[in-house]
Chains A and B, each alone.
Chain A
């Protein structure tokens, strides 16, 4: 497998970042407008969960930083391997259906309000209580429960 050769490859300088917005007052359209206003040389795709920002690494990082500053603890960012509209991922050329990887994103989006709130508390210095994780039910215990119900 060829190793990364960043210096000699222009494609390597172009990245895509996924911005997932879970804010009460920032909408994906607001975030997109913020990038348009900044006149950064990036391509922005507005989506249901936020934005996809594609372009030169430095410009993307700057644009994403501008967006995140709108609501720091409730806007989340990760890199995306494929550029927007890539035929291997884009639904437009695959005849519809969910995008591969979307299930993962949807599962994590459910946790974002909790994570955002925890980050707010962390910034304020609120202490955290040690929680007791409930253990999984042992099969022997389940068997006992079933048998006790049958006997009744």
Chain B
């Protein structure tokens, strides 16, 4: 079972597809869960605490804005663990709650720098594009080694 990093990091569709085809998705929700359940300093309602930008120095220089470093402190460990990655570009949803353009560029750069299989796609807008999107992801995930035997794929045939 390969650990697959997904971008956008909190995507429902990508998380579901990776799990469906028998691999382990590395997503932001897992990191948030880990963060809020691990004893330590917490600053509700803010997710990032003053320690995070310091931890983010591992991934970006000190002159990089603390917001970017704080976000990298969340996404960086996921990329470190990744054995494969699926990156979906140009999605409207990367503008919004995860809409820090510089962090997004940095996250994609870090994933590309790793010597792992990467699938890069454009976000689909039509039915035909959606179909191609799913087929490409399914073929990519099937090409990865160690898919879990009792995965959810194809059981309703």
Contacts and interface: CB of A to CB of B under 8 A. Distances in A.
Does B associate with A?
yes
A123 B138 CA distance: 11
Interface of A: 1-5, 9, 11-12, 14-16, 18, 20, 65, 68-69, 72-73, 76-82, 86-88, 100-101, 103-105, 107-109, 111-112, 114-115, 117-119, 121-124, 128-131, 133
B23 to A, nearest CB: 14
B60 to A, nearest CB: 15
Contacts of B34: 4, 12
Interface stretch (B100-108, B111-119, B122-130): B122-130
In this complex, which of B10, B92, B134, B135 has the most chain A Cβ atoms within 10 angstroms of its Cβ?
B134
Describe B's contact surface by its main secondary structure: helix
B133 A87 contact: no
A16 B156 CA distance: 26
Given A1-B55, A112-B13, A131-B126, A123 B135 contact: no
Size bracket, chain B contacts: 35 or more
Contacts of B32: 81-82
A69 B150 CA distance: 13
Contact of B13 (A1, A14, A115, A133): A115
B68 interface: no
Top 3 A-B residue pairs of the complex, sorted by shortest distance between their CB atoms = A81-B32, A114-B130, A118-B134
B66 interface: no
A81 B12 contact: no
B39 A2 contact: yes
B65 interface: no
